[in-house]
Amino acid sequence: QKEVEQDPGPLSVPEGAIVSLNCTYSNSAFQYFMWYRQYSRKGPELLMYTYSSGNKEDGRFTAQVDKSSKYISLFIRDSQPSDSATYLCAMGAGTASKLTFGTGTRLQVTL
């Protein structure tokens, strides 16, 4: 079993839809939870960063962490074609530790 599980998709939604992306994990030492966005043939870039449990909102994006269930989510409201990308969840246990990535979910937002 992988330490971090993420549905690879692809996920296709119409413009304006609410998108929900999820990851589950098994390592209870993870404290830092991130979502990276990766456009085709580009390097990943940080989208959202959360420490421990709770919610964090940034514009159309909301990240949720439920440590008791070992489950994290990224919600995208009013999705746009420019949101079409692969979304990678990533987790770490703290300073000097290593990030563990999910396999990524490919999202396609159609007009």
Binding site for another protein (CB under 8 A): 6, 8, 31-32, 34, 41-46, 49, 51, 88, 90-104
Any idea which residue has 């949720």 for tokens? 64
Q: Are 103 and 6 in contact (CB under 8 A)?
A: yes
Helix intervals (H) in 30-77: none
Measured CA to CA, the distance from residue 4 to residue 59 in angstroms comes to 26
Closest to another protein by CB, 16 vs 94, is 94
Task: For 44-82, give the DSSP string.
Answer: -EEEEEEESSEEEEETTEEEEEETTTTEEEEEESS--GG
CB of 30 to another protein, least distance (A): 9
Q: Are 32 and 51 in contact (CB under 8 A)?
A: yes
Closest to another protein by CB, 60 vs 106, is 106
CB of 14 to another protein, least distance (A): 26
Closest to another protein by CB, 79 vs 86, is 86
Closest to another protein by CB, 21 vs 88, is 88
CB of 7 to another protein, least distance (A): 12
